């Protein structure tokens, strides 16, 4: 009976380690590096959207399939 309780307590302990070790607080503005990365992503997304619209206008099925994920 003691070994069963030990395993339950050990599992609970490991669960608490995982829960409390990955606790992040997101307060305030993002860091400058993150802002730069987000700007790059938005730029790439806008470029891809423009390319998709252009492919749809021209009817290029290969590019439509590639860009329309």
Rounded to an integer, what distance in angstroms lies between the CA atom of residue 45 and that of residue 34? Answer: 16
- Give the range of the structural domain holding residue 53, as residue numbers without chain letter: 2-67
Task: Identify the band that residue 67 occupies on the pLDDT scale cut at 50, 70 and 90.
Answer: confident
pLDDT at 47: 93
Position with higher pLDDT, 22 vs 47: 47
Mean pLDDT computed over 35-58 = 92
The total of structural domains in the chain comes to 1
**Residues 1-41: pLDDT tens digits?**
567 788 888 899 999 888 877 767 777 887 888 899 999 99
């Amino acid at each position: 009976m003691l070994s069963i309780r030990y395993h339950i307590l050990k599992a609970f302990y490991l669960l608490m380690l995982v829960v409390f070790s990955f606790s992040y607080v997101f307060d305030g503005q993002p860091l400058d590096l993150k802002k730069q990365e987000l700007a790059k992503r938005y730029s790439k997304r806008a470029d891809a959207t423009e390319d998709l619209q252009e492919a749809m206008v021209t009817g290029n099925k290969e590019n439509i399939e590639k860009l329309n994920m």
